[in-house]
Amino acid sequence: MKTLKNHLMKKIFYPAVLLAIAGLFAFTVAAVSWKVQSDAAEVKFTSEKADGSFTGLKASIVFDDQHPEEAKISATIDATSIGTGFFLKTMHAKDALGTDDYPIIKFESTSVSKNGNGYVAKGNLTLKGATRPTAIYFTFANKGSQGVFNGKMTVVPRDFGINRNGTPDTVMVSLTVPVSKM
């Protein structure tokens, strides 16, 4: 009887368990890691007081447009790279951002989901030492082994302790981030 039981375990149970495990892996999402082409990336801002840009974007992006809920986005920008095209405004902006003490601006996603014809990455933005929740609304043009993320977010400087005289109420940040598969 014990031999029959062992025989049935080997012939029926073990293959069934292996089949069930293989079935689970068949539905596992294959996350796609993207490498940012930093030299071609654009991070621009506009407000009623000043316009400008940042350079030095670095990011870790794991994103599959078929399964956005599995995405993870982490990005930093060199705050000292801010430029407005006008020396005095650039110096005021650096002072307002406190770039001597806070040289990095960071975004870390907590969730990504489909949103109309695009996506929304909700997460935490750290700016001038303060971390606040924010959302980046973006699209993704998937071109096989390459792609482009285009996004926008609104920043309220006062939420981050940026309250110098002349600070705008809101700043619109636009992102163009070319990527290639890793």
Residue among 71, 47, 62, 48 nearest 171 (CA): 47
- pLDDT, mean over the chain: 89
Phi, psi of 125 (to 5 degrees): -105, 125
The predicted model gives 53-62 an average pLDDT of 97
Q: Identify the pLDDT of residue 13.
A: 58
For residue 123, the number of C-alpha atoms closer than 13 Å in the C-beta half-sphere is 22
Asked whether the whole model's pTM tops 0.85, one would answer no
**What average pLDDT score do residues 118-130 get?**
98
